[in-house]
Amino acid sequence: MNNDKLNEISSYMSKLLRKSFGRGPKSCQAVMSDQFLVIYVRGFISPMEEVLMEQGQEVQVEKARSAVINHLIDELTGVIQVSLGIELEEPYDDWNF
């Protein structure tokens, strides 16, 4: 797989997160195997999420992030299809706060 294309996807994801949350991740890296495309996002929590987490409101943070991320996945899916020429079958996100 072309590393330049994966770097473009990583950069695009960082920009999407920054635009949607007001703060981007510390790092974002896309890697690909034969069957999977994984985007690792590290050091990413918005100031609002941080306050809510400190107050024990993890469920609310997960619900809000899920709503925004599902919207971003739709946009990112199109970029991935154009950049890599592949069709994503089943997007999945998992956040470890």
Q: Which of 59, 67, 65, 71 is nearest to 25 (CA)?
A: 65
Is residue 58 a part of any domain in this protein? yes
| Boundaries of domain holding 80 | 3-84
Is residue 94 a part of any domain in this protein? no
Is residue 76 a part of any domain in this protein? yes
Is residue 92 a part of any domain in this protein? no
* Number of separate domains in the chain: 1
Is residue 50 a part of any domain in this protein? yes
For 15, 24, 50, 55, 67, the CA distances from 77, given in Å and listed in that order, are 15, 19, 28, 34, 16
The pLDDT tens digits for 2-47 are: 889 999 999 999 999 998 888 889 999 999 998 899 999 999 888 8
The pLDDT tens digits for 56-90 are: 999 999 998 888 888 888 889 988 888 888 888 88
pTM, whole model, 2 decimals? 0.82
Is residue 95 a part of any domain in this protein? no
